[in-house]
Structure 1
Amino acid sequence: MRDGIEDKTAETARPKLTYPFEHAPQTGEAVDVAPGVKWLRMPLGGPLGSINVWAIREGDGWAIVDTGLSGVETRDGWRAAFAGPLEGKPVTRVFVTHMHPDHIGMAGWLTRKFDCQLWITRLEFVTCRSLALDTGREAPAVAIRFYKAAGWDEDALDQYKAKFGGFGRGIHVLPDSFHRLNDGDRIRIGDHEWEVVVGSGHSPEHASLYCRDLKLMISGDQVLPKISSNVSLFPTEPEADPLTDWLTSLAHIKDRVPDDVLVLPAHNEPFRGLHARLDHLIGGHERGLSRLAEALAEPKRVTDVFSVLFRRRIDENLLGLATGESLAHLNCLRGRGLATRERDAQGVDWYRATA
């Protein structure tokens, strides 16, 4: 849903990626990235500013990959795109990499407008529908206990209660059915075959699309060139280990997708240098885990480890994100047998490195 908080890996040298396109498209414009493949952008609020979406020519229409956040600005952006670079041609089907609102937000609008089908992995579809049902609900007691255990004070808990239930507000009503994507599927889209490469950690069953003929990989949020994807633990599955899932997924991508692809990410610009970027992301998180293990020589709460993992000050706007990412790192250490957790009489968890 959001990019991760930049961590102390920024202090290390970044890989020298190359960016072949001098200019990014404005809303309503498109850049040709390969024969029959167009790069478009839809507006987002916040620091990211926009999301990249992709149009693949398919017969007398376009297959769309990712859709933007639901809202008037995005709808107007799509209308401008159809009136301009998409030449008024219909959408044949909608592919969504994963269920975060900036990716799936307009899928319902597009599929209804063009009477076409949504293609997505099963876990992303059902998870999205489940979270959308929370819209307007009060925060559940289990979530309050989860964040209290992380060291949140009463003010932070009150703010969480006030903001809870907003996930579905960025999503147009979802289609009532979908076509399931599976890892390893080979799908003909237009003139070329694309392979589904599934990863997890950032989301449950994220689908990237790799085209061997065109040497392209639509990476969604699984691989981004300038920011690290948010990998967080949430109250719905408090014993999960999403960071291990994510690191495993990155290694899996390196094994399956060659380094000569042009990567088409959801944020920032298309780039070359996939394997170097994967190595940097994996190495950065491994260094963070090592720092964290050293810091746990003395018991610490989740909120006590922010300075170990993040360079920037964590304010109330970043508290939830920082907590989720810190818990993901702590659960990864626990899974490796490098840390233990103990809850005190006040319901707060304390983490300590194993001897």
Structure 2
Amino acid sequence: MAVKVYPNIYKQEIPLPKNPLRAINSYIILSEDRNLIIDTGFNTEECKKSLMDGISELNIDLSKTDLLVTHLHSDHSGLASDLSKEGVRIYAGKIDGKMINQMIYREYWAKYEAYMKMFDLEKDNVSFEEHPGYKFSPKEPIDFIPLEEGNVLKVGEYSFEVVDIPGHTPGHIGLYEREHKLFFCGDHILDKITPNITFWGFDRDILSVYFNSLKKVYQYDIQLLFTAHREIVRDHKKRINELLSHHEHRLNEVKNIIKENKMTVRDTAANMHWELRYDKWEDFPSAQKWFASGEAMSHLEHLAYTEKAQKTDEDGILYYKLNN
């Protein structure tokens, strides 16, 4: 059921079966001219039915509707290709839009085979084919309309400014409505749970990138922060402080893990605390081992970038140890 959360703005909660996130909030903004949908759910029949039920309930004409994909993850972009076939114009940030189209091809996922070795995940017999990004992403190229910071999307009485908020992904974007003090933030800030900050390559300290994006949004005048998972946030500054504190705790946890002995990414992740229903690392599903290792890696790389830890490569496997 589409729930009205603000004048002409509805939230459609789309179930994500067998996923710890449980559901994604897709937002639908109505106007007499063109409507706007924000994020879609996985490329699965269950998600498609839920999204289309909300569209039907609101009596939306898809030929007069646009879709904005906040970032590349498949729970946000999965149905973009399907909607495009229905005549929907598709918007995405320049960086993540390009990456979504790259994810169609197995060549993109070849780097995950390299990560498997680098993270020391080969001993767990994981496969990128179990990664939700591979399983549930669009399977056909999408003719995105690229967006960048400062672009404006007008939807009825609302004027949404595009804001670059990288960190959760390299090209994550959000929408800010200055007059009404509304911000659609995708996975940049979440209520109750913390966004996964993973490894995106050695060319950047992605955790520092994320911190800077959090501090950027902190300065905005926001009354309602529309998140992609769980509940709407009404005090974004309080939540941002909580997220920064969470990562400070995480970094201290990782420091303690690599304090005495050099550790692989996989073994660091296995020793971290996770809010999951599994008692031990061996019980983690393949997808969760990918997510946990990616988050461990972003924190380890941050410590290496800030010269608090040293990194060594031994036969293609990375080891980290805290500097004395």
Q: Which residue of 1 aligns with 2:319?
A: 350
Determine which of 55, 64, 82 is the counterpart of 2:28: 55
**Are residues 73 and 292 of structure 1, via their aligned partners in 2, closer, same or farther at CA, if it must alter by over 3 Å?**
closer
Q: Verify: 1:104 aligned to 2:77, yes or no.
A: yes
Q: Verify: 1:242 aligned to 2:209, yes or no.
A: no
Q: Which residue of 1 aligns with 2:158?
A: 192
What is the rounded CA distance, in whole Å, between the counterparts of 2:202 and 2:60 in structure 1? 47
Code of the residue aligned with 1:191 in structure 2: it is E
RMSD: 2.4
Q: Which deviations, in whole Å up to 9, do the C-alpha atoms of 1:61-102 show, x marking residues without a partner?
A: 421111111222222223322332x12433421111011111
Q: Verify: 1:95 aligned to 2:68, yes or no.
A: yes
Q: Verify: 1:147 aligned to 2:84, yes or no.
A: no
5 Å matches for 1:226-241? 226-233=192-199, 237-241=201-205
**Equivalent pair of 1:118/1:175 in contact (CA under 8 Å):** no
Q: Which residue of 2 aligns with 1:323?
A: 293
Q: Give the SS at the match of 2:126.
A: helix
Code of the residue aligned with 1:103 in structure 2: it is H
Question: Normalization by structure 2: what TM-score?
Answer: 0.88
**Equivalent pair of 2:116/2:126 in contact (CA under 8 Å):** no
Q: Which residue of 2 aligns with 1:253?
A: 217
Determine which of 74, 88, 104 is the counterpart of 1:132: 104
Q: Verify: 1:181 aligned to 2:147, yes or no.
A: yes
Q: Which deviations, in whole Å up to 9, do the C-alpha atoms of 1:106-131 show, x marking residues without a partner?
A: 11211221x23111111111111112
Residue 214 of structure 1: how far off its partner (Å):
2.2
Determine which of 247, 266, 277 is the counterpart of 1:303: 266
What is the rounded CA distance, in whole Å, between the counterparts of 1:48 and 1:165 in structure 2? 14
Segments of structure 1 that go 5 or more residues without pairing to the other structure are 1-28
What is the rounded CA distance, in whole Å, between the counterparts of 1:164 and 1:41 in structure 2? 24
Q: Which residue of 2 aligns with 1:36?
A: 8
Q: Which residue of 1 aligns with 2:168?
A: 202
**Equivalent pair of 1:133/1:168 in contact (CA under 8 Å):** no
**Equivalent pair of 1:197/1:253 in contact (CA under 8 Å):** no
**Are residues 224 and 173 of structure 1, via their aligned partners in 2, closer, same or farther at CA, if it must alter by over 3 Å?**
same
Q: Verify: 1:121 aligned to 2:103, yes or no.
A: no
Segments of structure 2 that go 5 or more residues without pairing to the other structure are none
Residue 350 of structure 1: how far off its partner (Å):
2.1
What is the rounded CA distance, in whole Å, between the counterparts of 1:76 and 1:145 in structure 2? 36
5 Å matches for 1:60-71? 60-71=33-44
Determine which of 213, 238, 262 is the counterpart of 2:224: 262
What is the rounded CA distance, in whole Å, between the counterparts of 2:223 and 2:101 in structure 1? 33
**Are residues 221 and 301 of structure 1, via their aligned partners in 2, closer, same or farther at CA, if it must alter by over 3 Å?**
same
Q: Which residue of 2 aligns with 1:284?
A: 246
Q: Give the SS at the match of 1:54.
A: strand
What is the rounded CA distance, in whole Å, between the counterparts of 1:272 and 1:169 in structure 2? 34
Q: Which residue of 1 aligns with 2:308?
A: 338
Q: Which deviations, in whole Å up to 9, do the C-alpha atoms of 1:3-28 show, x marking residues without a partner?
A: xxxxxxxxxxxxxxxxxxxxxxxxxx
**Equivalent pair of 1:184/1:196 in contact (CA under 8 Å):** yes
Residue 308 of structure 1: how far off its partner (Å):
5.2
**Are residues 311 and 50 of structure 1, via their aligned partners in 2, closer, same or farther at CA, if it must alter by over 3 Å?**
closer
Question: Normalization by structure 1: what TM-score?
Answer: 0.81
Code of the residue aligned with 1:291 in structure 2: it is E
Residue 143 of structure 1: how far off its partner (Å):
4.2
Percent identical pairs in the alignment equals: 25
Residue 307 of structure 1: how far off its partner (Å):
5.6
**Equivalent pair of 2:101/2:142 in contact (CA under 8 Å):** no
**Greater relative contact order (CA < 8 Å, ≥ 6 in sequence):** 1
Q: Give the SS at the match of 1:159.
A: coil
What is the rounded CA distance, in whole Å, between the counterparts of 1:339 and 1:87 in structure 2? 56
What is the rounded CA distance, in whole Å, between the counterparts of 2:141 and 2:119 in structure 1? 36
**Equivalent pair of 2:42/2:74 in contact (CA under 8 Å):** yes
Q: Which deviations, in whole Å up to 9, do the C-alpha atoms of 1:159-187 show, x marking residues without a partner?
A: 326x3687354234455422221113232
Q: Which residue of 2 aligns with 1:221?
A: 187
